[in-house]
Chain A
Amino acid sequence: MKLKAGIYWGAGCGGCDVAVLDVHEKILVVAEKMDLLFWPIALDFKYKDVEAMDDGYLDIAMFNGGIRNSENEEIAKLLRKKSKTMVALGSCAHIGGLISMANFHTKETIMSRVYLESESTDNPDSVLPLEKWNGGKEELELPRFHQMVKTLDQVVDVDYYIPGCPPVPDQIVSALSQVWEGTLPEKGSVIGAGTRTLCDECPRIKEEKTITSFKRTVEIIPDSEKCLLEQGLLCLGPVTREGCGARCINSNVPCRGCYGPLEGVHDQGAKMLSALASVLEPKEEKEIDELIGQIADPLRTFYRFSAAASILRRKKV
């Protein structure tokens, strides 16, 4: 019997949906094993079609994107109800993703920046998004933009996580095959990824580390054989789960952390900070400050993908 599946795109760039398409000819294998009953980006189903399903009707729902507005949250809850297995697909659903850097701002500043202040905005009447509109025949209720981005498991119970921004297509297929082959691990596991951090997968030569300076990627052409961190580039590989095939590393670009931390690491950013601070050379406050002052935008470097899943979750208001 074919599995009944749904895919949904919450708050995000849509890259995860594209990654599903990027499995290329393997989509045929997927199509053979699964019936896609809901996939707004590709197929014309409506929310009401899902609402009409019996609870637990879908075998699997894959939710990509974070929870940014009331619509994301509503559909997440709906899909949870209608499916047996709920999978968070991609960094945003998994750990908040890039979009959760918005948690370092309030809703108000975001609105004002986007609709009033940005250089390309022309909004002389200061029109802002509304939640209700009755300009037409009947009153319309529009999604409410929430105060913060949440991960999928902060709103519903999640069974599995497929990490990545976006997840590597092959890993999506291999994770799905675990579903139809019935080889899924314990609930709550990360699938379609490795069990160690990226350094394990990274082909570069690693030595003992003592960091004396930080560089930005634009400043140097790194030696492609040596550990990037040892060359002063802030690579998040040590604190990021492997499984991507070291895509960035192989392009001579440091890891930015999209696959998230390993189990047992409570805060990806803080853990990286702790590890990194351990191997800095200076011992005097002044020299330490000089060195760490070279890190461009430390907050968003350490929490590029995981702000929503961090211990503090957002900027306190």
Chain B
Amino acid sequence: MSFEPKIVGFLCNWCSYTGADLAGTARIKYSPNLRSIRVMCSGRIEPTFILKALYEGADGVLIAGCHPGDCHYQEGNYKALRRHRMLRMILPGFGIEPERVRLEWVAASEGERFATIVDEFTEEIRSLGPLKVRDSLEMVLSEDVILNLDTAMEEGGDANEA
């Protein structure tokens, strides 16, 4: 079977969740790979939630909030933006492509745009392949990985750089 990514979305109630609902009311069809969690504002979304989702099995995480200047609570989305930019910096250290965590602004009127974003993001994650944080961790913990100097050499730069 082809790889069907599983994506977790964190949507703010006022713009993005409403925008996603609008895609529904307009019967716009898009990929079934996203599962959304509703929060009141993107400012509530913590990096911890995203790491948790990745750990539990998400292949990608979508954060969506109101466009800059439109946040229902004025500035929550700027905080989300800054948290996202910082999270991107550390993801490679955990062996995760920063592209797997995407931030988008979706207005309440942008049902079409929401659908397009989900489609595009699903395809992007599909091309990145499954993430499987947990499987990888279990494999490592089972200690059946044997010291292999060939792979060590390939990865050589890693010791000095995140």
**Cα distance A311–B48 in the bound complex, in angstroms:** 8
List residues of chain B with CB within 8 A of the CB of A144. 143
B136→A270 contact, CB < 8 A: no
Tell me which residues across on chain A come within 8 A of B149, comparing CB atoms: 108, 111-112, 126, 128
A267-B48, A292-B86, A316-B133 are contacts. A109–B159 as well, Cβ < 8 Å? yes
Known: A273-B47, A311-B51, A314-B140. A109 touches B95 (CB 8 A): no
**Is B46 interfacial (CB 8 A cutoff)?**
yes
Question: Given the interface contacts A314-B137, A315-B94, does A147 sit within 8 Å of B145 by beta carbon?
Answer: yes
A162 CB contacts on chain B under 8 angstroms: none
A271 to B85, CA, bound (A): 14
Q: Which residues does chain B contribute within 8 Å of A274, judged by CB atoms? A: 46-48, 83
Residues of chain B within 8 A of A39, CB atoms compared: none
* Contact residues in A for B133 (Cβ distance below 8 Å): 312, 316
Q: Check: A269 CB closer than 8 A to any chain B CB.
A: yes
| A299 located at the interface, meaning its Cβ lies under 8 Å from any Cβ of chain B in the complex | yes
A275-317 vs B, Cβ < 8 Å mask (1 yes, 0 no) = 0111010110100110010010111101100000011111111
Give complex CA distance A317, B141 in Å: 12
Whether the Cβ atoms of A266 and B95 lie closer than 8 Å is no
User: Across the interface, which residues of A come within 8 angstroms of B82, CB to CB?
Assistant: 277-278, 280, 282, 288, 292
Could you tell me if B159 and A316 are in contact, using CB atoms closer than 8 angstroms? no
User: Knowing A285-B81, A312-B133 touch, does A111 contact B147 (C-beta < 8 A)?
Assistant: yes
Q: Is A215 an interface residue (CB 8 A)?
A: no
Output the nearest chain B residue to A310 by Cβ-Cβ distance.
B51
Beyond A105-B159, A267-B51, A317-B136, whether A146 also contacts B90 by CB under 8 A is no
- Output the least CB separation between A150 and chain B (Å): 8
* Bound-state Cα–Cα, A311 to B68, Å: 30
Q: Which of A104, A106, A276 contacts B93 (CB 8 A)?
A: A104
A positions within 8 Å CB-CB of B = 104-113, 117, 126, 128, 144-148, 266-267, 269-271, 273-274, 276-278, 280, 282-283, 285, 288-289, 292, 295, 297-300, 302-303, 310-317
Chain B interface residues toward A at CB < 8 A? 46-48, 51-52, 54-55, 68, 75, 78-79, 81-83, 85-87, 89-90, 93-96, 131, 133, 136-137, 139-141, 143, 145, 147-149, 151-153, 155-156, 158-159, 162
